[in-house]
Amino acid sequence: MKILKILAIALATACVGGFSPLAAAHGERAQMPQVRMRTVHWFDVTVSATKLDVNQILVVKGSFIPSDFWPTQFPSAEETAFLNIGVPGPSFVRLDSRVNGVPMIRSTSFHPELQYNFEITLKARKPGRYHIHPVINVKDTGPLIGPGLWVEIGGDQAAFTNTAKTLLGQDIDLESFGYANAVHWSILWAVVGVAWFVWWLLRVPIILPRFRRAAELGANADQMITLGDRRVALGFLVLTLSLIVGGYMYADDKWPITTALQAGKIAAPPAQRPAVPLDVRMNEARYRIPGRSFRVALTVTNRGSSPVTVGELDAGNVRFVNSSVLQVKPADADDLVASDALHVDGGPVAPGETRDIVVYADDALWETERMTTMIDSPDAIVAVMLFFYDGDGKRYPVEVGGPMIPVFG
């Protein structure tokens, strides 16, 4: 009867897990809102294709700006960071990654308020439908996940090729190169480890009786190790050192020319962008829980030659768009774009004018993307990226941030 209950519970769990929509993508919703809002602002992230076949190339492009409101409890990307790609399993092979044209095969540093343009080149490896994210791994902080995009791979995985030419002109298959060598060494060390374990396993009594005996002898417990045990241990030591030294000499003779793994950092120059002719100060930020409405009061000074208005607000990879300024349609049902959720009170800010405006971002995405948990944080600081547009359609990204006050009624 108990077995039937266990099977029933296991079957129910499998069914629930199988139909869970959250399991289809990564766990970006599990990251705290202050992590998503106050670390890296991602924008203009695109893929070169949403459907491709095995062996075809996919390019992921976009830009990001590290936040000036980075949480003090998290190590900053100014220390050590690495541009990466987040995909479920070995569905792609990364061929190249660059930030402003500089290869990112090493770690680097990303500084607040500076813009970086990235490009990651991938090769399709395994058929399926995958959620792809750009990722920045920060030392002692972890992965900071960018917006996700769905990509579908067709074709036959058996047709996948992954070859490379070495510096000496040798063509190798990266899917199998060195595999046999790794298997042989793994088997050899496993045999040595099992032999060592079996020797002591045959030495009776073992485990609890031997533990009690060692406790009885106290400081004289070494008497339990016989001369034969010491000889066997010496033999295993000599064998281990011989395998290590012999393996090194064999590898050095067969591959005399090698390159060490690179552990140094490389500088990633920021992108050149035009000066922003705006001074923007956040006076207040409130989140009204019943209406799922985010309200931010701003003081904007326009030092440019054309009126400006807010066309988009980005928070934690969620885009809230002012439809009177921009026409943006979600790429698919999972695209985090609220195409008519941004409203501005106060009108455009004229050249030379300083004006108070109020920006409202109202949409259910605050709740479905679990951004509302920011009201439970002891560090209720928010940061958002505002995109102002002038009369010529020119865009000016500006980050604002500060304390957020929840409104419960």
pLDDT in tens, 134-157: 999 999 999 999 998 999 999 999
Tokens for 333, please give them. 């049902």
CB atoms within 10 A of CB 347: 10
Tokens for 36, please give them. 């998503």
CA distance 291 to 115: 34
Domain with CATH 2.60.120.570 in the chain: 27-167
3-state secondary structure of 347: coil
Tell me, which fold does domain 278-407 have in CATH? Immunoglobulin-like (2.60.40)
The pLDDT assigned to 275 comes to 87
Question: Among all chains, which residue has been given the structure tokens 């890296």?
Answer: 40
* pTM score: 0.82
pLDDT by residue, tens only, the chain of 409 residues? 444 444 444 444 444 444 334 444 456 777 888 889 999 999 999 999 999 999 999 999 999 999 999 998 899 999 999 999 999 888 999 999 999 999 998 999 999 999 999 999 999 999 999 999 999 999 999 999 999 899 999 999 999 999 999 888 889 999 999 999 999 999 999 999 999 999 888 876 667 777 787 788 787 777 777 888 889 999 999 999 999 999 999 999 988 888 888 888 999 999 988 789 999 999 999 998 888 899 999 999 999 999 999 999 999 999 999 999 999 888 878 888 999 999 999 989 999 999 999 999 999 999 888 888 877 778 788 999 999 999 888 999 999 999 998 888 6
Question: Among all chains, which residue has been given the structure tokens 């009885």?
Answer: 216
Architecture of the domain whose range is 27-167: Sandwich (2.60)
The pLDDT assigned to 203 comes to 72
Classify strands 337-338 and 318-321 as parallel, antiparallel or unpaired.
Answer: parallel
**DSSP secondary structure string for all residues of 9-50:** HHHHHHHHHHT-GGGGS-SGGGS-HHHHHHSEEEEEEEES-S
The pLDDT assigned to 63 comes to 96
Domain with CATH 2.60.40.1580 in the chain: 278-407
Neighbouring-strand partners of residue 288: 293, 407
Could you tell me the CA-to-CA distances from 220 to 207, 209, 215, 224, 228 in Å, in that order?
Answer: 18, 16, 9, 8, 18
Judging by beta carbons within 10 Å of its beta carbon (0-12, 13-18, 19+), is residue 326 exposed, middle or buried? Answer: middle
3-state secondary structure of 302: strand
Tokens for 320, please give them. 């809230």
The pLDDT assigned to 347 comes to 82
Which residues lie below 8 Å from residue 56, measured CB to CB, with a gap of 6+? 49, 123, 124
The pLDDT assigned to 27 comes to 60
